């Protein structure tokens, strides 16, 4: 593994959230000798309930450094970012944050890192003035990245991992009822939602018997376990990850907080306009058990993209970086980006 640098980036002006705002950022640096002629800089945005540590998990008997180390070993700069109200970034009233505010804050962090690379002030790397940039978003991070790229046109390419711009739905283990999710109007706030399928809320309450999903954990399995984790993953790691939902110890890859606006992204077509506006190459990565309702329809959401690659990976559920086949995803993504950048 290479060097890591921790940053706190002031995004107060850009976010416009009515108070001071900082993002926590980890920059994973490669050896200068491995940089491409035009260096690749990847920005990783985590999913709901997870923080930037998801991209650099050190787990027993697994290669150290996770996805970030995989890419830095092959010459990329990898930047992992906690969204507003996630992980170590500034916390706000989660019900009042919008996807647009989160996207603007993330863009400010991207600009800051790119400026430091251009100044030659990140570690021992040489001056990098015109990097090839890719945004990588997993689950909620993929939703926010679609909004980010569609509105702000930040990156040279994007990878949307485990999120559907058509319809995101969390599946349940076969033989058990599917978890229904509310379809909220995106212009409404989660604390005062406009719900277009109100009948599912009654069904949801029947499943959980509470308005607190964190307590909907049986002695056997959390209702999201099958969607999040493949059965071939180590059971102790899976339990550690899922226990965090119900108030257990928080692993380093988890976040205790999540912006409430994430729930708006599960409605069909919630980010359809931004997805259609993305005009750079798009990589769609997903597991064989994931939250994408109809994978074959997914490329059609990106109507302006010059290239859309769809890749599904075996023995992989929604939380890709826990899967025994995670390096297949990382390798496919690395090859795709390096090909675009050649």
The per-residue b/e assignment along 48-65, b for 16 or more CB within 10 angstroms, e otherwise, is bbbbbbbbbbebeeeeeb
Radius of gyration over every alpha carbon of the chain, rounded to an integer in angstroms: 19
Q: Report pTM.
A: 0.93
Mark the ranges of the chain whose per-residue pLDDT is less than 70: 1, 203-220
Residue-wise pLDDT tens digits, 189-224: 878 889 999 887 776 665 554 444 444 444 457 889
The pLDDT score that the predictor gives to residue 212 is 45
| Token pair for 264 | 């708006």
Which domains occur in the chain, in start order?
4-170+252-340 (3.40.50.1820)
The per-residue b/e assignment along 283-311, b for 16 or more CB within 10 angstroms, e otherwise, is bbbbbebbbbeebeebbebbeebeebbeb
Pairing of strands 4-10, 282-287: unpaired
3-state secondary structure string across the chain: CCCEEEEEEECHHHHCCCCCCEEEEEEECCCHHHCCCCCEEEEEECCCCECHHHHHCCCCCCCCCHHHHHHHCCCCEEEEECCCCCCCCCCCCCCCCCHHHHHHHHHHHHHHHHHHHHCCCCCCCCCCCCCEEEEEEECHHHHHHHHHHHHHCCCCEEEEECCCCCCECCCCCCCCCCCCCCCECCCCECCECCECCCHHHHHHHHHHCCCCHHHCECCCCECCHHHHCCCCCCHHHHHHHHHHHHCCCCCCCECCCCCHHHHHHHCCCCCHHHHHHCCCCEEEEEECCCCECCHHHHHHHCCCCCCEEEEEECCCCCCHHHCCCHHHHHHHHHHHHHHHCC
Instruction: Work out the angle between the directed axes of helices 140-152 and 99-118 (0-180°, nearest 10).
Output: 70
The pLDDT score that the predictor gives to residue 204 is 63
The pLDDT score that the predictor gives to residue 162 is 99
The pLDDT score that the predictor gives to residue 177 is 79
């Amino acid at each position: 593994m290479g060097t890591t640098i921790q940053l706190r980036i002031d995004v107060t002006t850009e976010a416009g959230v009515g108070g001071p705002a900082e993002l926590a950022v980890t920059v994973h640096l490669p050896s200068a000798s491995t940089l491409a002629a035009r260096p690749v800089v990847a920005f990783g945005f985590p999913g709901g309930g997870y923080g930037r540590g998801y991209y650099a998990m050190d787990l027993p008997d697994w290669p150290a450094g996770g996805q970030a180390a995989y890419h830095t070993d092959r010459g990329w700069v990898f930047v992992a970012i906690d969204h507003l109200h996630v992980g170590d970034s500034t916390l706000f009233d989660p019900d009042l944050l919008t996807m647009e505010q989160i996207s603007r804050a993330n863009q400010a962090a991207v600009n800051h890192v790119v400026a430091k690379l251009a100044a030659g002030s990140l570690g021992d790397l040489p001056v990098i003035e015109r990097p090839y940039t890719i945004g990588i978003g997993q689950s909620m991070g993929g939703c926010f990245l679609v909004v980010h790229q569609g509105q702000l046109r930040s990156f040279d390419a994007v990878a949307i991992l485990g999120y559907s711009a058509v319809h995101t739905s969390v599946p349940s283990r076969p033989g058990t009822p599917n978890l229904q999710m509310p379809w909220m109007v995106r212009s409404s706030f989660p604390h005062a939602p406009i719900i277009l399928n109100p009948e599912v809320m009654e069904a949801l309450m029947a499943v959980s018997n509470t308005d607190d999903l964190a307590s909907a954990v049986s002695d056997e399995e959390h209702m999201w376990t099958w969607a999040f984790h493949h059965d071939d993953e180590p059971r102790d790691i899976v339990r550690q990850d899922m226990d965090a939902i119900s108030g257990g110890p928080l692993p380093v890859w988890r976040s205790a907080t999540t912006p409430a606006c994430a729930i708006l992204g599960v409605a069909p077509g919630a980010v359809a306009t931004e997805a259609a506006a993305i005009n750079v190459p798009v990589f769609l990565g997903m597991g064989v058990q994931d939250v994408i309702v109809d994978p074959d329809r997914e490329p059609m959401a990106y109507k302006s993209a010059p290239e859309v690659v769809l890749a599904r990976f075996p023995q992989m559920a929604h939380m890709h970086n826990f899967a025994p086949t995670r390096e297949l995803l990382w390798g496919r993504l690395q090859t795709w980006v390096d090909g675009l950048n050649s």
